Amino acid sequence: MEPLRKLLKNQNSEKTTEQIFSEVFADQDVKAFLNTNRDRLTDEDIQRGRSKLYEYVHEKHLAQNGAPSVAPGYTPRLVMSAGQIDVTYVPTAQLLKQQALQAKQRRVSKRYMPKFIEHATLDDYYTNNEGRAAALNAAVKFVNGYSKGNFVPGIYLSGSFGVGKTYLLGAIANELADQGVNSMLIHFPTFAVNMKGSIARHTTEQERDEVKQAPILMLDDIGADALSPWLRDEVLGVILEYRMQEELPTFFSSNFSMDELTDHLAQDNNGNSEPLKAQRIMERIRFLSREVRMVGPNLRTKG
Ligand code: ADP
Ligand code: MG
């Protein structure tokens, strides 16, 4: 064992081997371990296990002092192994917490989304007016009612800029992640621009499929930009059609109400109006989600 050998060889070390081991045997955890296993250990076993006991004490102190140890994030534990003293390393509570947080964050796949949603929670959601309270109620109802294979419509959050629509979508996704449910949040306008580029990359289908199959999909800021007929019908339309067939909950946020979005989707960027195409998209959106209007001050103007 490296540190022991080094220490014993170290000419400058003021401690003798004897002193080192008397400290090791004075350690409360070592004492407790030897006491527990008294009947299973001969004096010879203990003599042979000294270096393990030393390793244990040494690594425990490194971990306690936050110094670099052989296995960062792990703490040593004394065990009996094939009748001999041994040391194993178990994850610290801090490491387990960090791993759980990472696993949770991996369940929320984010594309082009602001970073603040990582920390969004339903518990921290302000409900200072009726619109926000209704939105929070709908969110809580969804989170409690959803289970895989059981279709529950998502929420269509409409309301002006800065009322907290994106924040609420993030909070719902984080809450679902706690329950082990995977979701995907996409800033729809950026995704749409990116999808145009997928034609040249020959990846349109693949990129569209990844999105359409997400167990929970959240399309943020839908209607923020005018969509070409291709984006409306072949990208958005196909994604929504699939999700409707498969009964996969889908969330939206928009500055437009559903009625306003209908008009917006009918217009293409050449000034043509295609109300029937817009109606088809809206039918799917209405199947997949229920509208909740959020009103309130623009939270972004706050410091
Ligand atoms: P919208 O998507 O409706 O335009 P956002 O979700 O982006 O609004 O919210 C605007 C700002 O307010 C963001 O910076 C966000 O962090 C903050 N915010 C919104 N709701 C909350 C909340 N409940 N708690 C803390 N901050 C919030
Ligand atoms: Mg937003």
What digits encode the pLDDT tens for the residues 263-303? 999 987 777 889 999 999 999 999 999 999 998 777 776 54
Domains in the chain with CATH codes: 4-91 (no CATH), 99-301 (3.40.50.300)
Question: In the chain, where do the E strands start and end?
Answer: 74-81, 84-91, 108-111, 154-159, 183-187, 216-220, 250-254, 289-294
Q: Whose CA is nearest to atom 14 of ligand 1?
A: 300
- Which amino acid residue places its CA nearest to atom 10 of ligand 1? 162
Residue whose CB lies within 8 A of the most ligand 1 atoms, among 119, 126, 251, 299, for a mutation test: 299
pLDDT score recorded for residue 190: 96
How does DSSP assign 176-244, residue by residue?
Answer: HHHTT--EEEEEHHHHHHHHHHHHHHT-HHHHHHHHHT-SEEEEETTTSS---HHIIIIIIHHHHHHHH
Burial state string for 78-98 with b = 16 or more CB within 10 A and e = fewer than 16: beeeeeebebeeeeeeeeeee
Average pLDDT of the chain to the nearest whole number: 90
Give residue 57's pLDDT: 95
| Cβ of 160 below 6 Å from ligand 1 | no
Residue 136 has pLDDT above 50, yes or no: yes
Lowest mean pLDDT among 20-29, 239-248, 250-259, 288-297: 288-297
Percent of the chain with pLDDT over 70: 93
User: What is the structure's pLDDT at 33?
Assistant: 97
DSSP state of 41: -
Give the pLDDT mean for 111-136: 86
**Closest atom of ligand 1 to CA, residue 169:** 6
Q: How far apart are the first and last CA of the chain?
A: 56
| Structure confidence by residue, pLDDT tens digits, 40-87 | 999 999 999 999 999 999 999 988 888 887 788 889 999 999 999 999
pLDDT exceeds cutoff 60 at 28:
yes
188 in contact with ligand 1, CB cutoff 6 A? no
Q: Each residue of 192-234: pLDDT tens digit? A: 999 999 999 999 999 999 999 999 999 999 999 888 999 999 9
- Tell me the CA distances in angstroms from 107 to 60, 170, 178, one per residue in order: 34, 12, 9
pLDDT over 90 (residue 134): no
Distance between Cα 163 and ligand 2 center (Å): 8
State in Å: Cα 82 to ligand 1 middle.
58
| Ligand 1 atom nearest residue 116's Cα | 16
Residue 7 pLDDT more than 80? no
Which pLDDT band, with edges at 50, 70 and 90, does 247 fall under?
very high
Is any ligand 1 atom within 6 A of the Cβ of residue 125? Answer: yes
Is the model's pLDDT at 148 over the cut of 80?
no
Average pLDDT over every residue of 246-275: 92
Res 303: pLDDT: 45
Measured from the Cα of 163, ligand 1's closest atom is 3
Atom of ligand 1 nearest to the CA of 171: 23
